[in-house]
Amino acid sequence: MSEQTLIWQEGDTWCRAMLDRWPDPAVDLRAIVDLKTTPDISDEHLVKAVWNFGYHQQADWYERGYRAAHGIPAEFYFIFVQKDPPHLVRVVQLDEQLRTIARARNDEALDVWRTCQATGQWPAYPPVGDITLIGPPRWARTREESW
């Protein structure tokens, strides 16, 4: 089935994920697949996209949900499709180091959520009216210290 919502609990926290494709454990297809479009399917670009967009955390989250719903693990795959012709396609799976980082970040996010729920204190930008002082980006400072 396509585009299914997965809902589960981790401790006392309700969680959800929106799967592009729902794997059917009845036919032993325990593969979660997520489709992404990209302008470039080179290794360098895909690594950067996974990191910058948090796709590694998405993969961990979906795997958690599937395991919670079915009691069995599923493998997560990204299918990257190049936006422009010839629309090249790459199937990507994340290595164990990236998966470990994703688990830790998702655990931390759950802890922050639970703390905010319990205390009523939520992270936010400074209140309206407060002034934030910013300077040039780090890369510009190292190049042009004389400004």
Domains of the chain: 2-143 (3.90.320.10)
pTM: 0.81
- Please name the residues in contact with 114: beta carbons below 8 A apart, sequence gap of 6 or more: 11, 12, 13
Residue 146 pLDDT > 70: no
Q: Give the helix/strand (H/E) hosting 120.
A: none
Assess whether pLDDT exceeds 90 at residue 145: no
Residue 54: predicted pLDDT: 97
- What pLDDT is recorded for position 25? 65
Averaged pLDDT score across all residues of the chain: 89
Q: What is the pLDDT of residue 64?
A: 96
What integer pLDDT is reported at residue 89 of this predicted model?
Answer: 97
